[in-house]
Amino acid sequence: MRSLRGLLAVSGHLAARHAPPSGAASSPHSVLFARALQILSQPDPVRLHKLSPPDSGIVELRLERPEARNAIGKEMLKGLRSAMDKVGADPTANVVLVASSVPKVFCAGADLKERRLMGSSEVREFVNSLRATFSSFEALPIPTIAVVEGAAFGGGLELALSCDLRICGANATFSLPETGLAIIPGAGGTQRLPRIVGRSRAKELIFTGRRFDATEAVNMGVVNYRVPGGEAYQKALELAREINQKGPLAIRMAKKAINEGMEVDLSSALAVEEECYEQVLHTQDRLEGLAAFAEKRKPLYTGK
């Protein structure tokens, strides 16, 4: 969170001033100070939380910008990049749940109020950074699960599409509405959606920008599971717990083999699989898995 000293330093006022007497007009200094306090009191729009035992290894990434329905502006983008970097550098993280703390919304997409104040070059820089952030998120070596309750529009849906799995509540709604604003999905939507639902269906959804509900989402394969409203997090947590019990190195190599193999021809993909299998062949976890099977007990994997 930004420091008050840093905010005031922008205008050269490093010390807090006393408020003016009652009835007196506010000075520019006091207005600046009040605005700085308001900004300082706002919570971070993205929060990371590591679950405690027995769920150690599961990390929650929470979107928390209720005043804008989790719309992605500069601060949220910065928070997403920071959170992604922290998860990527954490060797104890095995699964990430991406959820919203705001009722009835996952993410409403780009912050259009902020966007209106940007010039074309600034918009280009922002969208390029958002696309790169989602690509880096997709490239995390561990599984990611999007938990969608309510609206996932524009960049919000693109964030969900960059996750490995998606779980939604029955109240979820989805859309890539960008063509209605005379632009196109620019954070991966034109590329990830057709890879998930097929070229023709993706064209329909992007050309029309229409909204679709949870039932259609699961039927098209946009989400893995549709559950009753309010239960998406619990279903996602169940999946995360299943994954968390498996060999962490094996999960990482399985993700790498699938992701890289899907982008090349079958012969090359099989070579990727061979390379990834080689990475797990000489691990302590593989020997532990065999020992646990022979001894009819639960394996204790260490990621080594």
Give the residue from 206, 211, 155, 161 showing the smallest Cα distance to 179: 206
Starting at the earlier edge strand, list the strands of the sheet with 225-227. 46-50, 58-63, 95-100, 144-148, 165-169, 225-227
Q: Which residues, 6 or more positions from 275, have their beta carbon under 8 angstroms from its beta carbon?
A: none
Q: Which residues, 6 or more positions from 49, have their beta carbon under 8 angstroms from its beta carbon?
A: 59, 60, 62
Pairwise CA distance, residues 273 & 261, whole Å: 7
Q: Say if residue 21 is preceded by a cis peptide, omega within 30 of 0.
A: no
Q: Please state whether 225 falls in left (phi above 0), alpha (psi between -120 and 50) or beta.
A: beta
Question: In Å, what is the CA distance from 88 to each residue of 92, 138, 297?
Answer: 10, 11, 31
End-to-end CA distance of the chain: 36
Residue 173 sits at φ, ψ, to 5 deg, of -135, 150
Pairwise CA distance, residues 111 & 38, whole Å: 20
Q: What are the catalytic residues?
A: 110, 155, 158, 178
